[in-house]
Each structure stands twice: as C-alpha cells, then as structure tokens.
Structure 1
Amino acid sequence: MRLHGKVAVITGAASGQGAAAARRFTEEGASVALLDWDGEQGAAMERELVDAGRTAAFYQLDISDEQAVADTIAAVHQRFGHLDVLFNNAGIGYSSNDTYTMTSVLNTPVAHWRKILEINLDGAANVTRHVLPVMIASGGGSIINNSSINAIVGMPGADAYTASKGGLVALTRVWAVDYGRKNVRVNCICPGSIRTPMMADAIKTPEDEAHFSNNLLGRMGTPEEIADIALFFASDESSYLTGVILPADGGWTAQ
C-alpha cells in the first residue's frame, strides 16, 4: 500500500483524471478529500469509494473562491488531522468552450481570459496556499500540479488556457525551490491528449480522433495512465524527485 496512512487532497476529483486518481490513491491506502464544483458527481464519487470500503470525503468547492478554499481546507484538516499529498488537478479546457472561449489572444474576451486563469492558475495557487502550512506542519509531503503540453510547446488556439498551464509549470519550479528544505516535493505532469470528458467536445469527427492520436504511440491516453503518474509522485518511490516537469503525451513532444 504505497500511500498507507497518507491523506491526499485532489481537486477536480469528480470526473476524468481526478476521479481516476481518487480511485488509485484510495486503492493504495490513502484517505482522500475530494474537491470539485460539481456537487452531484462529487457526491457520487464519494459514495463509490466509501461503498468500496475506502476512506473519502467530498467537499463542493469553487477553487477560484479563495475564502471558500480557506474554509474547505480548514475543514479537511480538522477531519483528517494532517495533509500529505495535494494533486492540483482541477481546471477547465475544451469542454468549457461553450462558456469560455478557447481561442487566440486576439479573439478571447477579456472576461473569459480572466476567468480561465482564475480557475486554472489562481485556483491551484489558492488551494496550495492553504494546504502548504498544514503539510509543512505534518512534516512535509508531495504537491503534484496537472498542467498540459500546451505549457511546454507552442499550441495555437487556446491562449488563455496555455497561459494558465504555463503558469503552473513556472510555479512548480519556484515552489520546489521555496519548500524543498521543508521536505515538500513539488512536481508537474504535462498531459497530452487524454480521453476525458474535457476532450469530448473537441472530438467530433474521425479527423479529430486522428489529430489527437497523432503521437508516437498512435493513441490518446487514459485518465488511469495520468493517475498512475500522480501516484508515483505522491508516493515515497519518487522521494528524490522535485521540480520535475514530466510530459505524458505518448511521445508527442518528442516528434
């Protein structure tokens, strides 16, 4: 049990990569706080895990609301007593295109630009701001940021999303520097095309499928594959790793 006795906070835990990580972490012995804005799906995830005999608690939360984050992390701390792992997974992307425009800087309304950064970048900073003191007081831990290959190569057509994910890469490095001596490791996953609900709106034709499968392995990734990487970073198996920016993209960025 690679996470036996550990408490993990997972944002965006109700679906996709967050839900896969919640299942994987609890399989490996962690108690998990499930944070998500979707009350119905979040409650369903909690029931699934509890019915399987695992320890999980759901907290409905908009991570862009700093005060709500402070209150929620305080409640999680009170319930579990310590915090050892944070998976900053929550974010919006192509699945939110009907609400927030995913396009170039020239065509993205300012209000949409700000909201995308509020959720994807400020949200991760909000949660980290309140988890870090508890984690340090607990003796250290592991923070995993879920970014994107958009953060490390030029990918046209979603500039606010790209800016937010690039910010997570930069924060990974500086947090690793700032908190390494506090025994807090900070690493970052940069997924390529992962078959999640977030990608569903972007895959409507066989041509779309071929586009998102155009990597060295010839397929899209799965949420479970990202969850396994998050598990590695969360566990003591990665105890000598911090500040790592890891593409998980089927070799797309190697082409």
Structure 2
Amino acid sequence: MQLQNQTALVTGSTSGIGREAALLLAAEGAFVIVSGRNPTKGADTVAAIEASGGRAKFVAADLSDLDSVRHLAEAAGEVDILVNNAGAFPFAPTLEQGLDTFTTLVDTNMRGTYFLTAAVAKTMAAKGAGSIVNVTTIAGLSGMGGTSVYGATKAAVDSLTHTWAVEFGGSGIRVNAVAPGHTKTDNVVDMIGEEAFEELGARVPLGRLASAREIAEVIVFLASPKASYITGVTLPADGGFMALGIA
C-alpha cells in the first residue's frame, strides 16, 4: 500500500467519483476524511471504507459557504493529499441562466475550492510536502452548449491548477487536475437521462461512458508517489473525446 501513514481529504466524497476516490485512497492505506453535505451518505461511505479494512471519518461541509469551508479545513488539520472534487453542476443555456444558480456554481466550484486549497496548502507547505488533485471537466476545455457557467468555473480551476503548481512547487507540493469526460454517475444520469447520456458515451472513441471508478483511478495515480514528477497538469480522462476536436 503506497499511501500508508498519509491523510487524504476528499470533498464531495459521499457519492460518484468522490466516493470511489475515497475508497481507493483508503485501499492504498490512507486515512480518509470523507466530506460532503449529506451525513447519511457520508456515514455510508465511511462504513464502506471500514468494512474493507480502511480508516476514515466524516466531516460535513458545504463548499458554497465560507464558514463551512473554514470549519472543514480546521477539522481536517494536517493532510497529505487534498482531492477537490465537490462541485455544483446545474446546467443551463446562457439565455436561461439564473443569478441564484450562477452564484451557487461560482461559490462552490471556484470560491470554495480556492479558499479550502489555500488553507490546506499552508499546512502542507509547513511540512514541505503534499499533493493536490482538482477534479474539473472536459466542459472547461472545450465548448459545450448549455454548460457556460459550469464550464467556466471548472476552467478557472484548471487555471488555478497551473498557478498553484508554480506557487507551491518550491514547498514540495504537487498540484494537478483530472478532467473527466462523460462519466456515469447517478447525479448526472438523473439530470440528463440515461438514454441520452448513453448516446453521448457512444460518440467517444472508446464507444462508452466512463465509470466513476475509472476516473477515481486517475485521481489516485496523480495523488500518489507514482506521479512524483508530475505537477501543473490537467489530464483529460475522457475516452478520447477531446481527440475528436468537437464538442
């Protein structure tokens, strides 16, 4: 197990990609701080980790609320790995975008991620080591109709990934991002519809949707010592979708 004696904080880890990342990090020996808004789902994730012999605890947090972000950073304490996975993603065409949803997307996806990372990176820098993995999206790397605010907030996190890699590199902190493609999670299927989403998956070169576990494997790789000389990278995990050159 390559992450023994390390602590990992995974935001948005009560379901989907975040939950799978938490399970995999625990399987590699890390003590995992599971975080999200739903205590019931959080307890379920912790129970799943412990049932497999891992160690974890749950800390409730809402990334759109800065007081909650501060509490999460304080409760987590010193961590070795931070996975910024929590995100809001109600999609809407620009002409139908409401202010309330706009604010939620910006506050959760960018502002919350920014200030949590600043707090955690400060403790990482003090001990001279750490790994941060941001979960973004291919919608931030290409034009996708109906995702203007969501894509923009995630593109901002891609930009922050590059900046943070430069700012924190001298302190021994690596910062990378994973940009998932079309990934089959309950939340996205509920929003788009399973049939329509499967049709999107059929368009990618690999001819299918990704599973949450496949994206989590990439996250764990970038967080691990196996990626020790990789920083400042946004890695699309998209089945080749970006290679098509279309949205």
Could you tell me the TM-score, scaled by structure 1's length?
0.92
Q: Is residue 2:34 matched to residue 1:37?
A: no
Aligned equivalent of 1:221? 210
Matched residues in 1 for 2:142 and 2:207: separation? 19
User: Which stretch of the first structure deviates more once superposed, 135-144 or 216-225?
Assistant: 135-144
What is the deviation of 1:163? Answer: 1.0
2:150 counterpart (130, 151, 161): 161
Once the 2 structures are TM-superposed, how far is the Cα of residue 85 of structure 1 from its aligned partner?
A: 0.4
Alignment-derived partner of residue 185 in structure 2: 196
- Code of the aligned partner of 2:9: V
Aligned-pair identity (%):
35
User: Residue type of the partner of 1:26?
Assistant: A
CA 1:35–1:206: 2 relative to 1, 3 Å:
closer
Q: CA deviation at 1:139?
A: 2.0
User: Take 1:89 and 1:40, find their aligned partners in 2: how far apart are those partners?
Assistant: 19
Deviation at 1:206, TM superposition (A): 3.4
**8 Å CA contact 1:64, 1:126 repeated in 2:** no
Task: Determine the structure 2 residue equivalent to 1:83.
Answer: 79
Task: Using the TM superposition, give the Cα deviation of residue 203 of structure 1 relative to its aligned residue in structure 2, in angstroms.
Answer: 4.3
Residue in 1 aligned with 2:137? 148
What are the Cα deviations for residues 90-142 of structure 1, in whole angstroms up to 9, with x where unaligned? Answer: 1122xxx4xxxx22222201221111111111121121121111111232111
How do 1:208-247 residues align onto structure 2 when only pairs under 5 Å count?
Answer: 208-247=197-236
Alignment-mate amino acid for residue 85 of structure 1: I
User: Size of the alignment, in residue pairs?
Assistant: 244
> Could you tell me how far 1:186 is from its partner in structure 2?
0.4
Q: Which runs of 4+ in 1 moved over 3 A?
A: 205-208
**Is contact 2:177-2:234 (8 Å) kept?**
yes
Per the alignment, residue 10 of structure 2 pairs with 10
Kept in 2: contact 1:189–1:247 (CA 8 A): yes
Q: Which runs of 5+ in 1 are unaligned?
A: none
Classify the secondary structure of the residue corresponding to 1:106.
Answer: helix
Write the distance in 2 (CA, Å) between the matches of 1:190 and 1:19. 17
Q: Kindly indicate whether the alpha-carbon contact (under 8 Å) linking 1:193 and 1:213 is maintained by their aligned counterparts in 2.
A: no
Instruction: Check whether the contact 2:131–2:175 (CA below 8 A) recurs between aligned residues.
Output: yes
- Are the structure 2 counterparts of residues 202 and 63 from structure 1 closer, same or farther at C-alpha, using a change threshold of 3 Å? closer
Matched with 1:47 is: 47
Q: 1:208 and 1:29, CA in 2 relative to 1: closer, same or farther beyond 3 A?
A: closer
**Residue 73 of structure 1: CA displacement?**
1.8
Root-mean-square deviation (Å): 1.3
Whether the aligned pair in 1 keeps the contact of 2:133 and 2:176 (CA below 8 Å) is: yes
- Measure the CA separation in 2 of the matches of 1:192 and 1:105: 21
Q: Secondary structure at the match of 2:208?
A: coil
